[in-house]
Protein backbone atom coordinates (compact mmCIF):
# COMPACT_ATOMS: atom_id res chain seq x y z
CA UNK A 1 0.00 0.00 0.00
CA UNK A 2 1.11 3.51 -0.78
CA UNK A 3 1.70 5.45 2.35
CA UNK A 4 1.85 9.22 2.61
CA UNK A 5 2.58 10.59 6.05
CA UNK A 6 2.50 14.11 7.39
CA UNK A 7 4.55 15.21 10.36
CA UNK A 8 1.73 16.62 12.48
CA UNK A 9 -2.03 16.11 12.64
CA UNK A 10 -2.63 19.33 14.55
CA UNK A 11 -0.47 22.42 14.80
CA UNK A 12 -1.01 25.76 16.51
CA UNK A 13 1.28 28.65 15.63
CA UNK A 14 1.39 32.37 16.27
CA UNK A 15 1.14 35.08 13.64
CA UNK A 16 4.54 35.82 12.13
CA UNK A 17 6.10 32.47 12.97
CA UNK A 18 7.86 30.41 10.33
CA UNK A 19 6.05 27.10 9.92
CA UNK A 20 7.29 23.86 8.35
CA UNK A 21 4.90 21.12 7.26
CA UNK A 22 6.58 17.87 6.29
CA UNK A 23 5.32 15.14 3.98
CA UNK A 24 6.92 11.78 3.27
CA UNK A 25 5.85 9.10 0.78
CA UNK A 26 7.21 5.58 0.57
CA UNK A 27 6.31 4.57 -3.00
CA UNK A 28 9.16 6.22 -4.87
CA UNK A 29 6.75 8.59 -6.62
CA UNK A 30 8.32 11.36 -8.62
CA UNK A 31 5.44 13.79 -8.13
CA UNK A 32 4.25 15.41 -4.95
CA UNK A 33 1.61 18.04 -4.23
CA UNK A 34 0.51 20.37 -1.45
CA UNK A 35 -3.13 21.43 -1.13
CA UNK A 36 -5.13 23.41 1.35
CA UNK A 37 -8.69 22.45 2.14
CA UNK A 38 -11.27 24.97 3.29
CA UNK A 39 -15.01 24.44 3.82
CA UNK A 40 -17.02 25.11 0.70
CA UNK A 41 -13.91 25.54 -1.44
CA UNK A 42 -12.74 21.97 -1.89
CA UNK A 43 -9.00 21.47 -2.26
CA UNK A 44 -6.80 24.09 -3.85
CA UNK A 45 -3.31 23.41 -5.14
CA UNK A 46 -0.52 25.41 -3.53
CA UNK A 47 2.64 23.93 -5.07
CA UNK A 48 3.75 20.73 -6.72
CA UNK A 49 7.03 19.09 -7.60
CA UNK A 50 8.06 16.76 -10.39
CA UNK A 51 11.40 15.75 -9.02
CA UNK A 52 14.02 16.58 -6.49
CA UNK A 53 14.79 20.30 -6.38
CA UNK A 54 12.02 21.03 -8.86
CA UNK A 55 8.86 22.94 -8.01
CA UNK A 56 5.92 24.55 -9.75
CA UNK A 57 3.38 27.05 -8.46
CA UNK A 58 -0.18 25.91 -8.16
CA UNK A 59 -3.27 28.08 -7.94
CA UNK A 60 -2.60 29.78 -4.59
CA UNK A 61 1.17 29.95 -3.94
CA UNK A 62 1.22 33.38 -2.28
CA UNK A 63 2.61 33.25 1.24
CA UNK A 64 4.04 29.75 0.78
CA UNK A 65 7.25 28.15 -0.41
CA UNK A 66 8.32 24.53 -0.76
CA UNK A 67 11.43 22.42 -0.59
CA UNK A 68 12.21 19.04 -2.11
CA UNK A 69 15.72 17.94 -1.25
CA UNK A 70 14.95 14.22 -1.31
CA UNK A 71 12.59 12.32 -3.56
CA UNK A 72 10.44 11.01 -0.73
CA UNK A 73 10.08 14.28 1.16
CA UNK A 74 8.22 17.46 0.26
CA UNK A 75 8.05 20.34 2.70
CA UNK A 76 5.65 23.27 2.76
CA UNK A 77 6.93 26.44 4.37
CA UNK A 78 4.93 29.37 5.64
CA UNK A 79 7.54 32.12 5.85
CA UNK A 80 5.47 34.32 8.14
CA UNK A 81 2.24 32.69 9.21
CA UNK A 82 -0.94 34.72 9.09
CA UNK A 83 -4.42 34.01 10.41
CA UNK A 84 -5.79 33.55 6.87
CA UNK A 85 -3.50 30.55 6.53
CA UNK A 86 -5.48 28.68 9.18
CA UNK A 87 -6.60 25.62 7.24
CA UNK A 88 -6.27 21.90 6.66
CA UNK A 89 -3.17 21.09 4.60
CA UNK A 90 -3.02 17.90 2.56
CA UNK A 91 -0.05 16.36 0.84
CA UNK A 92 -0.33 13.93 -2.07
CA UNK A 93 1.91 11.96 -4.39
CA UNK A 94 1.50 10.16 -7.69
CA UNK A 95 3.64 8.27 -10.18
CA UNK A 96 4.68 9.63 -13.57
CA UNK A 97 7.80 10.56 -15.42
CA UNK A 98 9.55 13.89 -15.20
CA UNK A 99 7.98 15.04 -18.42
CA UNK A 100 4.55 13.51 -18.28
CA UNK A 101 1.92 12.63 -15.73
CA UNK A 102 -0.99 10.78 -17.22
CA UNK A 103 -4.30 12.44 -16.38
CA UNK A 104 -5.55 9.02 -15.33
CA UNK A 105 -3.07 8.66 -12.51
CA UNK A 106 -4.52 8.56 -9.03
CA UNK A 107 -3.08 10.80 -6.34
CA UNK A 108 -2.45 9.32 -2.90
CA UNK A 109 -3.16 11.59 0.02
CA UNK A 110 -1.80 11.93 3.51
CA UNK A 111 -4.09 12.35 6.55
CA UNK A 112 -3.67 16.12 6.63
CA UNK A 113 -2.37 18.70 9.08
CA UNK A 114 -4.86 21.04 10.65
CA UNK A 115 -3.00 24.30 11.18
CA UNK A 116 -4.35 27.06 13.38
CA UNK A 117 -2.62 30.44 13.34
CA UNK A 118 -3.53 32.71 16.23
Partner 1 sequence: AQSVTQLDSHVSVSEGTPVLLRCNYSSSYSPSLFWYVQHPNKGLQLLLKYTSAATLVKGINGFEAEFKKSETSFHLTKPSAHMSDAAEYFCVVSDGSSNTGKLIFGQGTTLQVKP
Among 14, 18, 44, 70, binds partner 1 (CB under 8 A): 44
CB of 69 to partner 1, least distance (A): 21
CB 94 within 8 A of CB 104: no
Report the residue number, 48 or 64, with the smaller CB distance to partner 1: 48
SS3 call for 79: coil
CA dist 60 and 40 (Å) reads 16
Give, as ranges, the residues between 49 and 78 that touch partner 1 (CB under 8 A): 56, 58
Cα torsion 63, 90, 73, 115: sign: positive
Contact between 104 and partner 1 by CB under 8 A: the answer reads yes
Contact between 107 and partner 1 by CB under 8 A: the answer reads yes
| Phi/psi at 84 (5° precision) | -75, 0
Binding footprint of partner 1 on the chain (CB under 8 A): 4, 9, 31, 33, 40-45, 48, 56, 58, 90, 92, 94, 96, 99-107, 109-112
Amino acid sequence: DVKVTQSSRYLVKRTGEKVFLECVQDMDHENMFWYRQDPGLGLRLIYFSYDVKMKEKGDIPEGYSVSREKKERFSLILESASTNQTSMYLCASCPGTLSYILPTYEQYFGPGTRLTVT
